[in-house]
């Protein structure tokens, strides 16, 4: 759920939008170097994070009848959420997504293919124009909703207008593929180019295009944990210990590891630190404080404890730098050698893990 339960400020202007975090990816993502598979981040979610073997127990449900089976509802359910239909207000359907003691409100876009994370605020579009005309910029509409960005010094807040324009929803829009629509809407505006701020600061420079680097040489220079038969083909996996899609990837890979079809090299990162109040960094440092052969087992069993080894911070910074070097966008990200000897890469959770493993060469 940490990949779909998204925070939404309801006070204007809200938190800075100029520094969005890296992503924790859901099913069906980006792709390998020749073109394969993206999806949501989580921000500000409450509740304790689940470890890999705990996460599988989350129940699912169908959407309420009038919420229908829209693509965005289906996508949220696939993250392991239960859906509660809260009715319609000002032309938008509101739902509550729950998983254990974690929850998030969403306003469904009119086309059913996207949702804004947040609650409606009692402020009309007309009032916005009257109150802060010089600090309000209208964006391109998305999925049937008008959008505006509010500037307050160095801070930004994107809001979406209800169809009747009598309310606004401060928040982030996600589509049914898990793409951050809001990020795409603002990326062309001067001064709002995303800046990556991750973990202890190794990736806190503005995101700029980087030339291709050798994938396998880069991941081989990271600090990682190994799991599985050392004689099996190796699959490298960048993870955030608290990213639910990293957890799900591990669950999907377990039977393949048990069958000696693949060995995992797990590279800990901290990419959702801002969303879990620094817990990702703590967990990643705890992993990196262990011997390579113990990292993955400790993560899977929820036995990551502090304090971290003094050298763990440097290892995490190097891992983050490696991720940056390959143009990393979120967890999980997979790197491997293909059967023909070329390098392969998949960003996000692939729909067919067995097929990915079958494509790995030695």
CA-to-CA separations, 296 to 3, 38, 50, 125, 314, in angstroms, rounded: 21, 25, 15, 50, 19
What pLDDT, in 10s, does the model give residues 88-121?
A: 999 999 999 887 666 788 999 999 999 998 899 9
Share of the chain above pLDDT 70, in %: 72
Query: CATH fold of 215-358, please?
Result: Glutaredoxin (3.40.30)
The whole-angstrom separation of Cα 33 and Cα 346 is 8
CA atoms within 13 A on the CB side of 51: 14
Reduce the DSSP state of residue 108 to 3 states and report it.
strand
pLDDT higher than threshold 80 for residue 188: no
The residue ranking higher by pLDDT, 10 or 232, is 232
Q: Which pLDDT score, from 0 to 100, does residue 190 have?
A: 64
Q: Which pLDDT score, from 0 to 100, does residue 64 have?
A: 33
Q: Which pLDDT score, from 0 to 100, does residue 60 have?
A: 33
Task: Decide if 308 contacts 314 (C-beta within 8 A).
Answer: no
Q: Which pLDDT score, from 0 to 100, does residue 192 have?
A: 55
Q: What is the mean pLDDT of the chain?
A: 76
Task: Decide if 309 contacts 318 (C-beta within 8 A).
Answer: no
What residue ranges do the domains of the chain occupy? 58-179, 215-358
Q: Which pLDDT score, from 0 to 100, does residue 30 have?
A: 38
- The mean pLDDT of 248-254, rounded to a whole number, is 92
Task: Decide if 54 contacts 71 (C-beta within 8 A).
Answer: no
The residue ranking higher by pLDDT, 328 or 306, is 328
Residue 50 structure tokens: 């689940």
CA-to-CA separations, 147 to 119, 136, 196, 254, in angstroms, rounded: 15, 10, 23, 43
Reported pTM: 0.52
pLDDT higher than threshold 90 for residue 229: yes
- The mean pLDDT of 140-157, rounded to a whole number, is 85
The whole-angstrom separation of Cα 3 and Cα 26 is 7
């Amino acid at each position: 759920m940490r990949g779909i339960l998204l925070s939404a400020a309801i006070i204007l202007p809200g938190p800075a939008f100029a520094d969005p975090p890296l992503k924790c990816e859901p099913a069906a993502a980006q792709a390998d170097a020749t073109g394969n598979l993206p999806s949501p981040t989580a921000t500000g979610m409450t509740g304790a994070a689940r470890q890999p073997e705990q996460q599988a127990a989350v129940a699912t449900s169908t959407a309420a009848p009038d919420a229908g089976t829209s693509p965005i509802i289906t996508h949220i359910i696939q993250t392991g959420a239960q859906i509660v239909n809260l009715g319609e207000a000002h032309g938008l359907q509101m739902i509550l997504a729950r998983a254990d003691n974690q929850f998030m409100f969403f306003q469904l876009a009119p086309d059913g293919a996207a949702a804004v994370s947040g609650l409606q605020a009692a402020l009309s579009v007309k009032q916005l124009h009257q109150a802060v005309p010089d600090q309000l910029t209208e964006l391109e509409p998305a999925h049937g909703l008008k959008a505006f960005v509010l500037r307050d010094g160095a801070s930004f807040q994107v809001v979406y207008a209800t169809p009747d324009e009598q309310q606004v929803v401060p928040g982030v829009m996600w589509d049914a593929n898990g793409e951050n629509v809001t990020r795409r809407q603002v990326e062309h505006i001067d001064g709002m180019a995303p800046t990556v701020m991750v973990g202890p600061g190794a990736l806190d420079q503005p995101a700029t295009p980087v030339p291709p680097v050798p994938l396998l040489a880069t991941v081989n220079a990271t600090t990682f944990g190994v799991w599985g038969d050392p004689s099996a083909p190796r699959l490298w996996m960048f993870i955030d210990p608290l990213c639910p899609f990293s957890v799900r990837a591990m669950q999907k890979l377990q039977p393949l590891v048990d069958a000696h079809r693949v060995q995992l090299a797990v590279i800990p990162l901290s990419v959702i630190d801002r969303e879990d109040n620094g817990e990702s960094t703590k967990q990643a440092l705890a992993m990196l404080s262990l011997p390579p052969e113990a990292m993955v087992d400790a993560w899977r069993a929820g036995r990551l404890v502090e304090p971290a080894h003094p050298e763990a911070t440097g290892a995490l910074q190097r891992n983050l730098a490696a991720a940056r070097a390959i143009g990393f966008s979120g967890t999980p990200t997979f790197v491997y050698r293909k059967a023909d000897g070329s390098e392969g890469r998949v960003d996000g959770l692939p729909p067919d893990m067995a097929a990915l493993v079958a494509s790995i060469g030695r």
